Amino acid sequence: MSTIAWIALGSVAAWAWLLLGQGFFWRTDQRLPRLAEPDRWPSVAVVVPARDEAGVLPLSLPSLLAQDYPGPLEIFLVDDGSTDGTGDLARTLAVRYGGPPLTVVSPGAPEPGWTGKLWALRHGIARARARGAADGSGGPEYLLLTDADIAHEPDSLRELVAAATANGLDLVSQMARLRASTGWERLVVPAFVYFFAKLYPFRRVNRPGARTAAAAGGCVLLRTEVAVRARVPEVIRQAVIDDVSLARAVQGAGGRIWLGLADRVDSIRPYPRLADLWRMVTRSAYAQLWHNPVLLAGTVAGLAVVYLAPPAAVCVGLLAGDTAAGLLGAVAWAVMTGTYVPMLRYYRQSPWRALLLPFTASLYLCMTVDSAVRHHRGRGAAWKGRTYPRPEVAPDR
């Protein structure tokens, strides 16, 4: 066989393993279980870190203020050095829409060694617990950590708490349905979740006693007692990929975790241009590889063999008459396409878009390399005017 045929054969073998041996990552059936409601609804504090979020708060914050939750509920929005009036807007929306009490916290600039989001979460959690100590309630039993661009259906918190209490879960996280309206969003966003699920198969995360740990930072319900025991967020204060680090910390403290796709939790942040999506991915891609050049090289090679080799082999088969390469490439491409269809259906996209996955994967390959280049040029993980270097000590390991 030709060299390209051997590479295509390797791709077929890789896809056979991914199809059956990687926790059925391509399935989209890990959804929040609907269970009986508890006899007593525990108290919950919602903590929302927000930095320059005036553009999305009018759509997201009212959804929290409208939560149909029977138990004690309070919202703490942490204004992380915003310059666009985020804090004042939050207060205005609370007056306009009513709902549970809302407190705006302004902790100031992060101390050295902290990322901005985790610094904000630290102060929001501390304020919630202090409020409970002051009023004699003992503080919230659960914390809902949710991003400022996340909109919740009215029964979202109710279902999260019911799932946690019925299953004895200490962390329940849902991957919010990201916006996929523009052409670039439809091309890149479903693949983003698909690749995340391949790295952290939800079924493995949810299996009791599993070693795989992950969460989706936009929507995390966390038992306060376990957060204290795990020393969250202090123990992960430098983490750029804070959601996975949080899940590892909770699991390391003996907590049970669950992760699934959301049906009633949506991200409303727009990424209309490729440049916007590019920044979202490059911010954390190299951190996902532990800033390791060897892992980077292996990832690039793996992406090339798994995603780019199949269509290349098909082209060689058609143009050069290499039958073996063409057939093996077609088999690998067919399996790849089939594994992507469920995610496209979840995002209400045409299944024919699955044929474009090799092109999307090539974009992610370039984003990953660019993330490494940015890091070595000192621009690291940049987000909203802040750049985070590689942690001196990885607090989440």
**Is 0.75 topped by the overall pTM?**
yes
Cβ contacts of 329-333, under 8 Å, gap ≥ 24? 329/8, 329/11, 331/12, 332/8, 332/11, 332/12, 332/14, 332/15, 333/358
Q: Give pLDDT, residue 268.
A: 97
pLDDT band at 379 (very low <50, low <70, confident <90, very high): confident
pLDDT at 377: 85
Please tell me the predicted confidence (pLDDT) of residue 376. 87
Rounded to an integer, what distance in angstroms lies between the CA atom of residue 360 and that of residue 354?
10
For 353-369, how does the pLDDT look when each residue is reduced to its tens digit (9 = 90+)? Answer: 999 999 999 999 999 99
Where is 325: in which H helix or E strand? Answer: helix 323-346
* 115-157: pLDDT as tens digits: 999 999 999 999 999 987 777 778 999 999 999 999 999 999 9
- Mean pLDDT score across all residues of the chain: 94
DSSP 85: -
Residues with Cβ within 8 Å of 143's Cβ and at least 6 positions away in sequence, in order, are 44, 45, 46, 47, 125, 128, 221, 222, 223, 224, 227
The model's confidence at residue 396, banded by pLDDT at 50, 70 and 90, is very low
Task: Indicate whether 394 pLDDT > 70.
Answer: no
**pLDDT tens sequence across 253-278:** 999 999 999 999 999 999 999 999 99
Helix (H, G, I), strand (E, B) or coil at 45: strand
